[in-house]
Structure 1
Amino acid sequence: MTCHSDSILSVLSALATIRRPRLLLRTARHGTADYRRETDLKRVLRLPATPAPGAATLHRLIDLEAQHDAMRTRPLDEVGNPWRAARHVEILIALIAEASLLAEAVTPLPRD
């Protein structure tokens, strides 16, 4: 197996372990219909330019989403950045859409 496929497998493995509330995921899945990679991804990642698709971008989104989930589940009396549902959903939208792009890129085409 190549290094490239190892990184893809690690991303898919990380995605398989994510467990979130059903409403949060349903909302994000619904939002993928309006996802526009060029504008949305650089806004979500707060970058000046849209990064290349691939495992590295998905790892960044997974890490960012984990940070927001930690804010969502922390005790109410803990001080820090407030959890914002809208921000969490937009990160999940990007994560789902980028994972779909990666899956499409690595899925073999059917033989004729």
Structure 2
Amino acid sequence: MCTVSKELAALRRPGLLVDAAAHGAMQYERRRDLRRMLRAAIPATPRAALEKLIPIEAALERRRQTADKTYSFARHVDILVALLAEARAFRQA
């Protein structure tokens, strides 16, 4: 199993975050959403996108767990939406 797959399999997040992200993933459009979420150019492949999204999500999770004042629930959901959708595309490839 590759590193990206292992990291995805190890993710454990609160149900509210996962439910919100799963709902948002149904509306996800890679070209429209990924640039805004990554705040950079769109990666060529789902794997490349996941390699950028996983550390962003991990940082957000650390902020959530420590009640950091800079934590944004909306941003966390956005990143999880992209992560779920890109993971789905990664598995299908």
> What is the aligned-residue identity percentage?
43
Please name the residue that 1:83 is paired with: 71
- Which one has a bigger Cα radius of gyration? 1
The runs of at least 4 consecutive aligned structure 1 residues that moved more than 6 Å come to: none
User: Using the alignment, how far apart are the partners of 1:44 and 1:54 within structure 2?
Assistant: 14
The structure richer in helix per residue is 2
Q: CA RMSD in A?
A: 1.4
User: Using the alignment, how far apart are the partners of 1:56 and 1:101 within structure 2?
Assistant: 12
Aligned length: 93
5 Å-filtered alignment, 1:22-33, equals 22-33=15-26
Gap runs ≥5 in structure 1: 1-5, 106-112
> TM-score normalised to the size of structure 1?
0.77
Q: Which has the higher contact order (CA 8 A, sep 6+)?
A: 2
The CA deviation at 1:14 is: 0.5
Aligned: 1:71 with 2:73: no
